[in-house]
Each structure stands twice: as C-alpha cells, then as structure tokens.
Amino acid sequence: MPHFQSSFNTKVIVSQAVEIEVANAVESLRKLMVTPVKSELEAIVADELHYGHSDGELEDKATFIETLISKKSNFLSITLSGQTINVYDDTAVVRHILQAQTNDGQILRNIKLMILSIWHKQNGSWKIVARQSVKAT
C-alpha cells in the first residue's frame, strides 16, 4: 500500500506542475493580446489554430496575429476569472470568463465572454490550437 500512495502523490504533484505550465501559457497569451509582440505570438500560437469569435467569425494563426498587431482587435485590458484547467497527456482544456475593454475602430466597448480553449504541448511548449467564445450574460 505505501507504494501506491507514493505513486499517487507523485502523479498529483506532476499534474499540478503541468497545470501551472498551462496557466502560465494562458497568462502569457492574455498579456500578448493586450500588448502584442509578433514573434511571441507566433511562438505561443499553433500553426493549426482555429480561433472562433462569439459572432461566428473564425481566424487562423496568421489572421489572429495580424488582427492583434494591426490593432484591428485592440484590447485595452483583459481580466480572466473562474479558470479551470484539465490536462490529458499533452493536451489541456481551459475554460474561463474573459472581461475586457476594447477600442476597435475608435469604439470603446466592455465585453464579457465565456472562453473554451484547447492547448497542446508541442516541442516542449504549450501552444493554443483552438479557442471558442460565447457571450456571457
């Protein structure tokens, strides 16, 4: 029985460490959406990105990055809350509420969205591969 307990504790510690890695990647993306740096966005976004907006618009990696760099999508601030992370081997499912202030086309807005994102560990780094949002009430 002691061997089982030791093995279980090790798995819990490893799981928590992986969840922290994913949370750090999510936080990095949040910061990059407010202050975009092209090379850093290219590093954290998977080539196969599918980025779904609450209005049904879908962006690939190139479009997502260009939209942020050009300020077409201009986040002044982003706050995340209620975050949960579930890790399945080298894939993570992240859910949270995103509240943001935007200035898109000189129109100031406050938005609140429920976000579901999928992250995959590629070459030792967590990258976002999919994201979908719906308007929160």
What does the alpha-carbon distance between residue 64 and residue 98 come to, in Å, rounded to a whole number? 17
Question: 69 Cβ partners below 8 Å, 6+ apart?
Answer: 36, 38, 41
Give the mean pLDDT of 126-133.
99
pTM, rounded to two decimals: 0.89
- CB of 32 within 8 A of CB of 73? no
Task: Give pLDDT tens digits for 92-122.
Answer: 999 999 999 999 888 999 999 999 999 999 9
Task: Give pLDDT tens digits for 32-59.
Answer: 999 999 999 999 999 999 999 999 999 9
Q: Which residue type occupies 31?
A: K
Q: Where are the alpha helices (DSSP H) in the chain?
A: 2-34, 38-44, 61-69
All structural domains of the chain, each given as residue ranges with its CATH number in brackets, are: 2-135 (3.10.450.50)
